[in-house]
Amino acid sequence: MADINEIRLDQAMKIEMETLWDCHKHDYWYDEHIEECLSEMLSAYIGDERNYAVDRAEIECTEMCKVSHCIKYENGKTKLYNVLNAPKGIERDYAPPGKEEGKAFYFGRDTDTNKVRRLFTLHAQGASDNGIRFGTVVDRKCLRDVREGVVEAVTPDDGIPAACEANIISCGNCRIMRVSDIAEIEKRWDESMEYGTCYSLIKPVAEWLNPLCAESVAGNCDAENTLALNTGLIEVGPTRPSCVITEHHKVLEFDTQYGKKEGLTMLSTLLCTRGGIITIKVHGQIYVDGSQHEEGHSYYGEAFSYIDKDGNVVTVVWTISEKEFLDASALTLTEIEKICNSHNPELVSRGFAEGIYNYCNTNGLNPKILLATLGQEQGWCLKGNYEKAFGVGPGGNPRDFSDSKTGIAASGNAFIKLFNEGVQGNSLLLKGINRDAGPNYPETKAACEDLNLWQSGNSKYVRYMEAGQDIECVNAAMYAKLRYTPWVDFPPQNSHPLEDWLHIYDSLEECLTNGT
């Protein structure tokens, strides 16, 4: 389990960066800055109710995985794995009868971001920000336990509508995998498919935990047991101390049916007994005091919609800003090498990591763009196909990428050209996306061993791809990616290329942190 105090210090760093708070004494996040200045910033932070989490606050878990997980029944066994790291999955020596042999079932692939990784606040009474209820430490009930009668649903009586009968639905997919998890997921199959495996597996403790005081985060509060306090361990047991220093700054409290309960900030933590620690990622605008920056958090997200192969309107959040798209400093060479090594060490020995780093720093492109493309187009080249690594070219017949530098340049140049096209053009509307027309049907032909056989059994999807659709991009970054790979739903492979690429992109930071 991660160290609670380390997590709080990481959160404090984010607060400082997002609020542009400046102590005017130190240039870097050194020990001296933490000891001398951090308490001042956090005291102002927790003293202002505008920094407290409200309904639908965004949450994250140290053990959440942002890529799809799969269950596959094969050769009398059941395997649960991360789609980007199948070898590290777990296996059960049993497959239930009647399960489709060899088919991969995906969990958390198309999760609704309005439901997953959200905190629904239900307990605060008469305490709201512009009619949006504040969160408290008792807002920890998961939807699975409510629906299965393990805990009672909470119905607020303050007249503010409740968006959910529980506080947490899911944090997506859980990186921790145990053989016993498979049965839990199978028991709640549909919900796990919709919300991710966390729906079936999450086990939150009785309450969220707050630091004893703002000063304790910086180590400036000696509350009886310094060693245990510094590790964060003392806070999970019944002997949790309290700060008795009157001058220290405590978390605000709100009225609930259980009496006064502490509110939630980015410093709050909720333990899951599986091993994860849940924190508040985005709770609304962040303020420190009236003289500081008040423009809100740095998270970027713009929604767009498309029609899937079955006629449903699908809404997705695009999370890459134009500034981020061009951030060549997003990864160091060492970090790029670590990502490549974690998926396929031969990418490093063949020069892909160095080539990506050099190209991006020379041309001003975020290396994550090329890495996500490398992961999507040929699955990190785990089956070879280095000459097709980045998938540039029509009809599933990419240009030759045997020379990694040439191939990287061809891919990067295409992205930059398309990005500039999006910036300079009069419109971000892309027409004819998701289109594969006759008589040759080149994309379908490239994906199917027998084109006629697939089309004869999927006439509805053939018509869907013949028609294509128009999609309004949210910025030039999305425009460039969707022009590079003009697909949102590809029935021959039952894939969602744009969203799949986004999942890989988001997983790169996770790979650096956890090595998976």
Write down the pLDDT at residue 499: 92
Sign of CA dihedral 170, 176, 182, 184: negative
HSE on the CB side for 214, CA within 13 Å?
Answer: 24
* SS3 assignment, position 92: strand
Over its C-alpha atoms, the chain yields an Rg (Å, rounded) of 25
With a cut of 70, say whether residue 131 has pLDDT above it: no
Label residue 405 exposed, middle or buried (CB < 10 Å: 0-12, 13-18, 19+): middle
Helices 333-343, 367-378: inter-axial angle, 10-degree rounding = 10
In this prediction, residue 417 has a pLDDT band, given cuts at 50, 70 and 90, of very high
Output the pLDDT for position 223.
Answer: 57
What is the rounded average pLDDT for all residues in the chain? 84
The whole-angstrom separation of Cα 467 and Cα 432 is 8
378 and 388 in contact (C-beta within 8 Å)?
Answer: yes
Query: Contact at 8 Å (CB) between 271 and 207?
Result: no
Whole-number pLDDT of residue 373: 93
Query: Which DSSP category does 50 fall into?
Result: G
pLDDT bin (cut points 50, 70, 90) of residue 47 is confident
103 sits in the region (left: phi over 0; alpha: psi -120 to 50; else beta) called beta
Listed range (9-13, 349-353, 408-412) with the worst mean pLDDT: 9-13
- Please state which of the ranges 117-131, 248-262, 265-279, 456-470 shows the lowest mean pLDDT: 117-131
Q: Is residue 20 scored above 50 in pLDDT?
A: yes
Predicted local confidence at residue 77, as pLDDT: 93
CA angle 30, 34, 40 (to 5 degrees): 140
Size (the chain), residues: 516
Q: Residue 6 has what pLDDT?
A: 84
User: Is 494's pLDDT higher than 60?
Assistant: yes
Quickly state the pLDDT bin for 263 (edges 50, 70, 90).
very high
**pLDDT, tens digit (0-9, with 9 covering 90-100), for 302-327:** 778 899 999 888 888 898 999 899 99
| Residue of higher predicted confidence among 147 and 290 | 147
Q: Report the pLDDT value the prediction gives residue 422, as an integer from 0 to 100.
A: 92
Q: What is the mean pLDDT of residues 149-175?
A: 88
Distance CA 297, CA 319 (A): 14
End-to-end CA distance of the chain: 16
Point out the least confidently predicted range of 250-254, 391-395, 480-484: 391-395
Average pLDDT over residues 123-138: 80
Helix 352-363 and helix 367-378, axial crossing angle in degrees, nearest 10 = 140
Q: Which of 84-93, 108-117, 223-232, 463-472 has the highest mean pLDDT?
A: 463-472
Ordered alpha helix ranges (H), 275-388: 322-325, 333-343, 346-349, 352-363, 367-378
d(CA 377, CA 385): 10
Q: What percent of the chain has pLDDT over 70?
A: 86
Q: Which of 90, 272, 106, 72 is nearest to 179 (CA)?
A: 90
Of the candidates 90, 92, 74, the one whose C-alpha atom is nearest the C-alpha of residue 82 is: 90
Task: Please choose, from the candidates 173, 144, 170, 199, the residue with its C-alpha nearest in 3D space to the C-alpha of residue 71.
Answer: 173
Q: Could you give the C-alpha distances from 113 to 180, 202, 313, 359, in angstroms and in order?
A: 27, 18, 15, 34
Confidence of residue 240 (pLDDT cuts 50, 70, 90): low
Q: Is the pLDDT of residue 284 over 60?
A: no
pLDDT of residue 62: 92
pLDDT at 228 over 50: no
pLDDT band for 7, please (50, 70, 90 cuts).
Answer: confident
Is residue 217 packed enough to be buried (19+ CB in 10 Å), middle (13-18) or exposed (0-12)?
buried
- pLDDT value of residue 392: 61
pLDDT at 288 over 80: no
pLDDT given at position 129? 57
Q: Give the confidence band of 80 by pLDDT, cuts at 50, 70, 90.
A: very high
| Digit-coded pLDDT (tens) for 440-470 | 999 999 999 999 999 999 999 999 999 999 9
Decide if pLDDT at 386 tops 50: yes
Q: What are the backbone angles phi and psi of residue 303, rounded to the nearest 5°?
A: -85, 145
| Share in percent of the chain as helix, strand, coil (round to 5) | 40, 15, 45
Judged against a pLDDT cut of 90, whether residue 283 lies above it is answered with: no
Per-residue model confidence as pLDDT tens digits over 169-181: 999 999 999 999 9
Residue 198 has phi, psi (to 5 degrees) of: -60, -30
Note the pTM of the prediction, 2 decimals. 0.57
Structure confidence at residue 2 (pLDDT) = 56
Average pLDDT of span 331-345 = 93
Q: Say yes or no to pLDDT of 402 above 60.
A: no
Preceding peptide of 367 cis, ω within 30° = no
Q: Which two tokens stand for residue 250?
A: 């405590």
Question: What is the pLDDT, as a whole number, of residue 153?
Answer: 87
Residue 343 has pLDDT above 80, yes or no: yes
Estimate the crossing angle of helix 497-514 against helix 333-343, to 10 degrees.
110
Segment 42-59 mean pLDDT: 85
The yes-or-no verdict on residue 287 having pLDDT over 60 is no
User: Is the pLDDT reported for residue 28 higher than 80?
Assistant: no
pLDDT for residue 145: 96
Q: 426, 398 in Cβ contact below 8 A?
A: no
Residue 15's pLDDT band (cuts 50, 70, 90): confident
